Amino acid sequence: MLKLGVPSKGRLNDATFQWFGERGVALSLTGTDREYAGKVNGIDGIQLVLMPAGEIPRELHAGRIHLGVTGSDLVRESLANWKTETEELAKLGFGHADLVIAVPRCWIDVDTLDDLDAAAAAFRWVHGHRLRIATKFHRLVREFLKENGVADYLLVDSQGATEGTVRNLTAEAIADIVSTGKTLQANGLKILSNGIIHKSQAILFRSRRAGWGEMETATLEDLMSRLDSRLPE
């Protein structure tokens, strides 16, 4: 039985159900909203697994689900070797958001990553400790800053209301997911001109670590043909 993991609630859940339904594969709940049980209609051999979007990368990694719909940012942050452990089967065209580096708008001389690197060095010289960047995307931010030569910073964990950490004096800059940017503006922050770390969207992923027998492989081929997509070579 091929297991398909989809977000259990929220806008990603609604958009995922709609996306599959528009392609002739109807996903439906089999109980109440609190039971997190569902089924796939119109195609045999698929078990629907409802879970938080943030847990789907872990289940793909463990091979406990064969397919999963989640944000590309979550997979890349959660899985160090995401390219070898998962495969992108289809970009779903919703759930768009950018992971960005943002700094106080009053830093008029800081507009690029080079400016941020210089500001971080000056900050440490003046204050005796590293410039703090609040984020929950530690892997993606660290790799991005390393690639762009930014040093003398400290990542501090923030699992919510990250935009408010600068105003609350618990960080000097942030790295967070934004869609409209209105919350950044409300908190006096601006995105660096070259500070987009990753442009995320919802993607249908395949786990390379799940058990792919003849039945699961055939079911996947049937599913992808119904979704009007082609399996990556």
pLDDT tens, per residue, the chain with 233 residues: 999 999 998 899 999 999 999 999 999 887 655 556 688 988 899 999 999 999 999 999 999 999 999 999 999 999 999 999 999 999 999 999 999 999 999 999 999 999 999 999 999 999 999 999 999 999 999 999 999 999 999 999 998 889 999 999 999 999 999 988 889 999 999 999 999 999 999 999 999 999 999 999 999 999 999 887 665 65
In sequence order, the β-bridge partners of residue 202 are 71
**Do 104 and 191 belong to one domain?**
yes
Range of the domain at 133: 97-200
* pTM for the full predicted model: 0.89
- CB count, 10 Å around CB of 13? 20
Residue 119: inside a domain, yes or no?
A: yes
Contact 69, 12 (CB under 8 A): yes
Q: How far apart, in Å, are the Cα atoms of 28 and each of 19, 47, 68, 148, 185?
A: 12, 11, 16, 45, 39
Looking at the fold, whether 221 and 146 belong to one and the same domain comes out as: no
The answer to whether residues 213 and 196 belong to one domain is: no
Q: Verify that 9 and 74 share a domain, yes or no.
A: yes
Q: Does residue 232 form part of some domain?
A: no
Q: Give the single-character DSSP code of 170.
A: S
In a domain, 86, yes or no: yes
Residue 130 is given by DSSP the state: P
Contact indicator for 27, 16 with CB cutoff of 8 Å: yes
To the nearest 10°, report the CA torsion of 220, 221, 225, 230: 100
